[in-house]
Amino acid sequence: MTTVAAVQMCSTSDVEENLAAAAGLIASAARQGARLIVLPENFAVMGVDDDERCRQKEVFGAGKIQDFLSAQSQKHHVWIVGGTIPMACQDEAKVRAASLLFNEAGECVARYDKIHLFDVVISDHESYKESDGIQPGSKIVVAETPIGKIGMAVCYDIRFPELFRCMANAGAEILVLPSAFTVKTGEAHWEVLTRSRAIENFCYVIGAGQGGTHGNGRRTYGHSLIIHPWGRKLAELTGEGAGVICADLNPDELAEIRKSIPVAQHQRIFFNINGLNEK
């Protein structure tokens, strides 16, 4: 059995404030025995616009936010999924939304750049176009860890089941999902989508969300979840606001479920983990 945690935040545009809040929540999760801690999307900075996000971007391997994640991993001797942080890319006017996995020694051992960007119209008064300021990634990432094989995704990715099947085909046992769902889409779809991805692939899903009203006026849904491979909720943080939820993952139980219903062996339509074209 391994204890894991999802951290929920209501991040602001102030990086120092957010890192201080994250440090307290990481410490709380560690005290509860968590060995893997997942932070939400935009945990370190919820910018008011694309320009602010660009001002806070870091070069991969160096920067305040990455140093923070490394230090926290070492301090608490835990694995941390660093939500997303704005990472420099070829287009100086944009960033990559990078989710980084740090090991217990404070080393970054995996990086996933958000592939699917949230360009949507929610209502007459609410719309988003992430592609204006974010460059999409193109690499599917499954990381080998002592906790299990971790498949990495971010928020809007949850609506694209082929991504998760690719990760399952590559051996993923735990799917991590830093998120910042809107209230409208969260109320309608957050739980059913996380449970569906767990059931389809017989994987644990750790969904760490933003929850509350942010300085840019955006309101996020919260309701962070940890889902069992059979689809039941192991833990849920009901509502908005900061907090931590923990649950125990049982690899023997996962193996038994996969043996009883061997969907991997029955699969007839295959998705290749290397099938995405670089843009």
Question: What are the catalytic residues?
Answer: 41, 114, 155
Question: What counts of helices (H) and strands (E) characterise the chain?
Answer: 8, 17
Helix axis angle, 15-31 relative to 64-76, nearest 10°? 20
Tokens matching residue 129:
């176009």
- The distance from CA 18 to its chain's CA centroid, rounded to whole angstroms, is 17
Distance CA 172, CA 179 (A): 19
β-bridge mates for residue 113, sequence order: 98
Q: What's the CA gap between 179 and 55, in Å, rounded?
A: 22
Beta-carbon contacts of residue 214 (< 8 Å; ≥ 6 apart): 10, 11, 12, 46, 220
* Distances, alpha carbon 202 to alpha carbons 4, 44, 95, 190, 235, in Å: 17, 31, 33, 18, 17
* H/E element, 166: helix 161-169
Task: Give the span between the Cα atoms of 54 and 93, in whole angstroms.
Answer: 7
The helix or strand, by DSSP H or E, that contains position 30, with its residue range, turns out to be helix 15-31
CB contact set of 228 (below 8 Å; sequence gap of 6+): 198, 204, 234
